[in-house]
Structure 1
């Protein structure tokens, strides 16, 4: 009887493992397929011969992307935007979520501010008023327009606020008794206990600033000020071969819109694929368990 149960248990575990492996492969295949298409020749992609491995291996798509120095300039602009935007947004969200996590008796303006945030999250003034406002603040053709244009994501504020409200109230009360002020409580107690939600909003912010392209199209009048996503969106394969050298013309002949677009997609998502594993462990780790002893 015991052996039969053991056999059934092993069979079910094996089945579950197989299902999980299958789901994992389904999730990874689009990324792999994008890479395979970007490394395949124009003829192979057009003929539908590309499935699991590159056909007619070529690096023409990547060479077309990186041969222009503007690509590297746009990459640095995107990197600067991610660093500045993530840092500023993280700090603002933290400072706003902490007082809003208190009740109306502790912070009298809490309900008013919350209603204003919800209203701003649901409605906005429109693109033209937003542009006029940004222009009046001198944020056209300026990296600060991209950094501060969406500097306060209300959803992230609500996410952090709710996490703070679920922290044991006894922690803050004990700190107050020991003479700690709001700043010390926030940075020395709440932040260390909130690594999961901090990592979450940091990933959300990094992904937003890295992938967002429309604001640059509105605020930037010069291509050299475009971040990577906006610049790659402007890259087109419709190029006059007469203005190209022989090597570039040869690469152009072996590249299609599909292969070039696949290369763009893979280049732009590669940094996020590298960064995400460093934050992933915080999504599943409980920090506050056992923080208060009865």
Structure 2
């Protein structure tokens, strides 16, 4: 059975679609400009200024950015950091969120108070550096993972999601002889894939884009993630990018095209991962945030 809409309702639908379309264009066009500019020749970029589709494609900028051995090594380091760091984050977050989701936990209110306090306040950069140094984590990948192993906000989202699961499932599992860890990993986690996938995306993007912590804690340049190397390329692009062990003989592309190529290189890997998690993203973010 179809219901005829009034003219006012139809006009409202048109206005909504136009607003959403304009908002999408505002978000998409700048990125299309960055991608097109990274493939355009310097002459075309200088003449046309704003382009969405270059007439002459060139890969010179990408060859320049990816021509050194440090970039592939940095990409491998970033992949390792993202995979290992995200796994640690999800494990630690789940281990903390599950007991806090149980209303019979003694001292639950005080623990949540401290979690919220830690979400709003922290010790600062220098105390954190001293803690990392005294723990012997400098020049180690763990210095980029362990200090932020649990995000207070993400933990609260996961806790709220766990609270919405039927309590009868846990009671049945206990009758069958399962302990708390078995209930968490055999029942709760499989039923919580939407929120786990959502937080995996949050944590993964954070690790992939991280560069400041690596600058603070990693003195060995060979262990730098790709974001640090890309940052170095952008900083040194005016005078030409060179390394202590090798240098580029060709004339470097203009700094503007180098910046565009760097943005594309650092963004595309996460864009390739997102479609696999997209179906869980909206559901997990919504269900994990509607109840406390």
TM-score (norm 2): 0.85
Report the alpha carbon displacement of residue 56 of structure 1 after superposing the two structures with TM.
4.2
Cα distance in structure 2, aligned partners of 1:65 and 1:41: 15
Alignment match of 1:156 (pick from 149, 154, 158)? 154
Write the deviation string for residues 245-287 of structure 1: whole angstroms up to 9, x where unpaired. Answer: 2xx22xx2xx22221111001111101100001011113458x
Q: How does 1:22-171 map to 2 (within 5 A)?
A: 23-103=23-103, 106-171=104-169
Report the alpha carbon displacement of residue 25 of structure 1 after superposing the two structures with TM.
4.0
Structure 1's 50 and 111: CA in aligned 2 closer, same or farther, altered over 3 A? same
Cα distance in structure 1, aligned partners of 2:123 and 2:241: 45
C-alpha contact 2:40 2:57 (8 A) present in aligned 1: yes
The secondary structure found in structure 2 opposite 1:108 is: coil
Give the paired residue count.
278
Structure number with bigger Rg: 1
Cα distance in structure 1, aligned partners of 2:92 and 2:222: 29
C-alpha contact 1:141 1:221 (8 A) present in aligned 2: yes
Cα distance in structure 2, aligned partners of 1:30 and 1:18: 19
C-alpha contact 1:213 1:229 (8 A) present in aligned 2: yes
Report the alpha carbon displacement of residue 81 of structure 1 after superposing the two structures with TM.
0.3
Report the alpha carbon displacement of residue 66 of structure 1 after superposing the two structures with TM.
0.6
Report the alpha carbon displacement of residue 21 of structure 1 after superposing the two structures with TM.
5.0
Cα distance in structure 1, aligned partners of 2:159 and 2:283: 19
Cα distance in structure 2, aligned partners of 1:35 and 1:240: 22
Q: Which shows bigger deviation, 264-273 or 219-228?
A: 219-228
Equivalent in the alignment of 1:280? 278
Cα distance in structure 2, aligned partners of 1:188 and 1:241: 51
Q: Which shows bigger deviation, 28-37 or 199-208?
A: 28-37
Report the alpha carbon displacement of residue 147 of structure 1 after superposing the two structures with TM.
1.8
Equivalent in the alignment of 1:174? 172
**Unpaired runs of at least 5, structure 1:** 290-294
The secondary structure found in structure 2 opposite 1:91 is: helix
Structure 1's 47 and 93: CA in aligned 2 closer, same or farther, altered over 3 A? same
Cα distance in structure 1, aligned partners of 2:120 and 2:274: 29
Q: Which shows bigger deviation, 131-140 or 70-79?
A: 131-140
The secondary structure found in structure 1 opposite 2:144 is: helix
C-alpha contact 1:141 1:225 (8 A) present in aligned 2: yes
Equivalent in the alignment of 2:290? none
Report the alpha carbon displacement of residue 7 of structure 1 after superposing the two structures with TM.
10
Cα distance in structure 2, aligned partners of 1:167 and 1:59: 51
Cα distance in structure 1, aligned partners of 2:11 and 2:210: 44
Equivalent in the alignment of 1:211? 209
TM-score (norm 1): 0.84
Report the alpha carbon displacement of residue 13 of structure 1 after superposing the two structures with TM.
11
Report the alpha carbon displacement of residue 153 of structure 1 after superposing the two structures with TM.
0.9
C-alpha contact 1:96 1:157 (8 A) present in aligned 2: yes
C-alpha contact 2:77 2:224 (8 A) present in aligned 1: yes
